[in-house]
Amino acid sequence: MIILPIIKENIAKNCHPIGLQKTVQRQIDFIETAQTINGPKKVLVIGASSGYGLASRIALSFGGGADTIGISFEKGPSEKGVGTAGWYNNIHFKQAAERKGLIAKNFIGDAFSDTMREQVIDFVRAEFGGKIDMIVYSLAAGVRTAPDGVKYCSTLGVKGDEFSGQSFNLETQSLCTQTLSPVSDQQLQDTVKVMGGEDWKLWIDTLTQADVLAEGFKTVAYSYIGPESTYPLYKDGSLGAAKEHLHATADQLNTQLTRINGEAYVAVCKALVTKASAYIPVFPLYITLLYQVMKEKRLHETCIEQMHRLMFTRLYPALGPVVADASRLIRIDDWELRSDVQTAVEAYRKQITAENFKEIGDFAGYLEEFNALNGFGFDDVDYQAKVSLEELLQMEC
């Protein structure tokens, strides 16, 4: 079959398995030329198949020689279709890591489930040396079934009055207005249940009880705060409520982990093109303006560059303790939130029209990164060549 990109509004409907090998390898190539990370050697990444989770796994393995376990909820190829991008990211990462002599175990399934926790514990004891010295928590999910069997759904929405803003439709490549509706108290609570810190704490509690966390263990989860202009749609909305819970959970866990000299942090990242951010209404246009400004100022970072800076300069610096602010947040959104950057972003925003939005913002850069997430846009991939479903079915995740 020939696989070409299919985009519906701002969502990719397919992926290219060969192109995704290029996506993963490009990140590996960057890390292998960057400064070595003196970090953990036995790492569990919860939410490992794309975005910051995948970039963390690549940074720690190829930048620091870490063996890794990755958990993700992905779908492989079948007669119905090629499967999800994360399925192939997992495969390509595993193949590259094993060529380096590293352990790269992929678990495919529900990271929220007790069953998954039990499987990971069994693997750590039997085949991973018995201890984990770092957990990266990078789940982005819309639905969570809690251990008590109750199913919770997250809602993207605002508190109070509805919020409207400009964005664009990737499918038609046109400017549009998007609106976020107010969320109810129940929707807010459910979003916190899905995207807050409860499951992160369950993982740490369970692995602590199983005695598989090493002395000096660290864990990090990822968050976003953003500039004041994005507060209504993120920080002050349902997503922000979930992230506040995540931040509070980090403090709880940090206290809890003192008996093994462990630490728990939240890293606040910059706005980037990821599978998760593409879903957020209004947000894509801000990202194009931010990209334009940060590239002009030579401050732009991709996921892999952010994760290298996080690991090398903040979580595992060569000298001294973890670098965090007074609220114990690791701020690698510092360049995004520089006053000169945000002033320039707002100046560009005021110039936006339906005719010029592609030129004012870095629409081309956004589209390039979006396509790469799904294995498209690489000059050295023949997208007119047929891909064999039989060969895809033989690839082991």
Please list the active-site residues: 234
The reply to whether 273 sits in an annotated binding site is yes
8 labeled part of a ligand binding site: no
CB atoms within 10 A of CB 328: 15
68 carries a ligand binding annotation:
no
Distance between CA 141 and CA 128 in Å, rounded? 27
Q: With left for phi above 0 and alpha for psi between -120 and 50, is residue 9 left, alpha or beta?
A: left
Specify which residues 11 forms β-bridges with.
Answer: 8
320 is in an annotated binding site: no
State yes or no: 214 annotated in a binding site.
no
CB 145 within 8 A of CB 110: yes
Q: Is 32 annotated as a binding residue?
A: no
Q: Is 13 annotated as a binding residue?
A: no
Query: Within the chain, how many helices (H) and strands (E) appear?
Result: 13, 13
DSSP code for 211: T
The answer to whether the annotation marks 272 as part of a ligand binding site is yes
Rounded CA gap, 214 and 358, in Å?
49
369 among the known binding-site residues? no
CA distance 71 to 68: 10
On whether 139 is known to bind a ligand per the annotation, the reply is yes
Place of tokens 């790492």: 43
**Token representation of residue 68:** 């890794």
Q: Find out whether 85 is annotated in a ligand binding site.
A: no
- Is 41 known as a binding-site position? no
The reply, when asked if residue 241 is annotated as ligand binding, is no
Distance CA 10, CA 171 (A): 7
Tell me whether residue 230 is annotated as binding.
Answer: no
In whole angstroms, what is the distance from residue 299 CA to residue 335 CA? Answer: 7
d(CA 53, CA 119): 20
Query: Is the Cβ–Cβ distance between 28 and 66 less than 8 Å?
Result: no
> Do 393 and 1 form a contact (C-beta atoms < 8 A)?
no
274 assigned ligand-binding residue: yes
Distance CA 352, CA 348 (A): 7
- Please check if 344 is assigned to a binding site: no
Q: Specify the amino acid at residue 102.
A: L
Residue 175, annotated ligand binder? no
Task: Give the residue ranges of the annotated binding site for NAD(+).
Answer: 47-52, 73-74, 110-111, 139-140, 243, 272-274
Task: Give the residue ranges of the annotated binding site.
Answer: 47-52, 73-74, 110-111, 139-140, 224, 243, 272-274
Task: Give the residue ranges of the annotated binding site for substrate.
Answer: 224
